[in-house]
Structure 1
């Protein structure tokens, strides 16, 4: 006869994981939103990353390590989706009202629009380098590209943002 493990014997304490998700979901969603430019895809990306990372929650020990693991899973999922041409929806110039509910300011909306005009790899590099404050080496490792490619995408992406009609001078990098 097989017994179901008691609450104390489960490998991952669901309450701790729920607390982690509650405390970190907003920041994860914002990073995903800058990547995808779409509220629904952002939610899908965060949920996919959390689902993939959940089995490793207890092994990683602390929230900072687990958040780094989730972010890595999120960026790798984004690259995988991009390489599979995961774009079933038609892009629009108007962002959904969900952004207002998540504390997205008009400057962030303008930045998201400018980022949406960039090629996906440039967008991913800029979000990692300047929003996530990752090093060139970390960005290269997360995206599976060389450090030289990170520098090239970063330079070209910043140049494109400087020319963007969506950004005012005080927002542009």
Structure 2
């Protein structure tokens, strides 16, 4: 890669690294794994930088790579989440942090594909077509995964859903 391309990649990385890391965290629920996934997405982007023709498509390309990495990793047997009866105590926090913590914990209980759809649709702000493109599936799949994911989220949140609505 020539110096101009390296500079362009470095600028893109500096501008987008925090957003990509945040999306990765929302997808997997763990900051350490989120760092790994974000790094893998940027390494793949760097490797393919010269082949990407449309600079406007960079965010979509990175998002798709990120979602695929998280979903693929969740399928590996040694990475399957283990649920416990009782969560460890957390530090006292204000309503904003408590609401975010409650939502992230609830997202962890949703299956990975449904979680990816929920994060892309409601936290990243993509429409059905954009989420379908990022996931490499049909818009109908996005709609059904959204419905199932929201149902799972509602079942997990239970009484906490009213608290989230009141805080939002």
Q: Give the TM-score, by structure 2 length.
A: 0.76
3-state SS, counterpart of residue 170 of structure 1:
helix
Cα gap change, 1:63/1:145 in structure 2, threshold over 3 Å: closer, same or farther? closer
Return 46-55 or 156-165, whichever deviates more: 156-165
Deviations 1:114-162 (A, max 9, x none): 1001111110110111112222233233323333222121112112323
Q: Provide Cα deviations, 1:14-61, integer angstroms capped at 9, x if missing partner.
A: 333222222211111111111000001100110111111113335547
Deviation at 1:86, TM superposition (A): 5.5
Whether the 8 Å contact between 2:99 and 2:164 is mirrored in structure 1 is no
Give me the whole-angstrom Cα distance separating, in 2, the residues matched to 1:88 and 1:117.
12
Match of 1:155 in 2: 147
Structure 2 match to 1:87: 79
Between 47-56 and 153-162, report the one with greater CA deviation: 153-162
Corresponding residue number in structure 1 for 2:43: 51
Equivalent residues of 1:36, 1:42 under 8 A apart: yes
Separation in structure 1 between the aligned mates of residue 166 and residue 139 of structure 2, nearest angstrom: 26
Pick the aligned partner of 2:21 from 21, 29, 37.
29
State the Cα RMSD in Å: 3.3
* 8 A contact 1:29–1:42 mirrored in 2: yes
Are the aligned partners of 2:74 and 2:80 in contact in 1 as well (CA < 8 Å)? no
User: Structure 1 residues 149 and 22 mapped into 2: Cα distance closer, same or farther (>3 Å)?
Assistant: same
Q: Which residue, out of 112, 124, 127, partners 1:120?
A: 112
Pairing 1:1-12 to 2, within 5 Å after superposition? 10=2
Aligned to 1:69: 61
Match for residue 170 of structure 1? 165
Structure 2 unmatched runs, 5+: none
> For residues 143 and 61 of structure 1, what CA distance do their matches in structure 2 show?
20
- State the distance in 2 between where 1:35 and 1:74 align: 9
Partner Cα distance (1:10, 1:96) in 2:
48
Structure 1 residues 72 and 20: CA distance shift in structure 2, 3 A: same
Under a length normalisation based on structure 1, what TM-score does the superposition of the two structures give? 0.74
